[in-house]
A and B are shown apart, each in its own frame.
Chain A
Amino acid sequence: MIVAERKPFDEIFANAGKHHKVLLLGCGTCVTVCMAGGQKETGVLASQLRLASREKGVDLEVTEHTITRQCDAEFFDDTTSRLVEESDAVISMGCGVGVQFCSDRYPNKTVYPALNTEFFGATLEQGVWTERCAGCGQCIVDKFGGICPVARCSKSLLNGPCGGSADGRCEINPDVDCAWQKIYDHMETLGRVDELEEIQPLKDWSHNRDGGPRTVRKEDVRL
């Protein structure tokens, strides 16, 4: 899933304060799971905005609404479009994709992001999410015991750890696991440590964002 975090309140309030009527638009998919922009968080932010505007004497009307997914046209139904049209601006609680999709759909409205979109990740435990994939466009995790060095090694090293790996921790921060210790341990469990002797060639980054913005077309399902 895409993991995001809510922006600091002041930043959102500063944008909202430029308008009289804003629509706070929640998203029911990834950002609901990572508790950043779902219906509940949309409600909380709406109350905070109302409270702050009252306290500061700002004339601000906040409407809240959450749709199933902000990255899919079919969920922008008539109700949503009506609410958008009735507002001066939209504050999207979706990820960066949702913000842009919304902005594309309603070209006459400014859409502000309420979240900072962080990464593709997984839930580690209640309230903790962590990065697992860098979307490089050519998956190679099978060579590394199912652990991605591109996303999880701080230097994206493909041929083994740097000199800074110590006690399973990455040199950049003792709270960060060294991906290469994990790769080594997992390959050992699999009895495949020998495979790490292989020299991994230069990676073809053209499938990554380095090749420009990417589009996937699946011809057999296109209309």
Chain B
Amino acid sequence: MSDDLRELYQELVLDHGRHPRNRRHPDSFNHEAFGKNPMCGDALVVYLMLDPQGVVTDCAFMGEGCAISMASASLMTEIVRGKTVDQANALFAAFQHLATGEGEVDESVLDEDDLDRLQALSGVRQFPIRVKCATLAWHTLHAAMQGEEMVSTE
């Protein structure tokens, strides 16, 4: 198997891709958004519970897709829990940076452990058409936090 392929499908990605965490419809949530990747037809919904201080107390998603999109959504739901909206936005920016090589990352506000886990998805950089699979969940989360109902990666 080629190294690029191993880079893309790291163990953590395969694990979360096969067994996505927090793929459920939560009983209570106060933000949600629907995200779609028109090119491949993948779609998912992100549900968010924000407390009055703007801290994510729960994050879940529903949807089906490729291993990359499922793993990304799964890791995201775990990582953003307990974060403030600002921290979650900073993670979104960091994730976009590592998936595309574009933009700037302010590492001072980020947890090293979180970054390590997100790093598992950086293999998509070598696969331009798969970048959107990885970023769909994050775009949808961002939309949910902004109070938008719908987002498309196009």
> Is B one of A's binding partners?
no
The chain B residues found within 8 Å of chain A, CB to CB, are none
The chain A residues found within 8 Å of chain B, CB to CB, are none
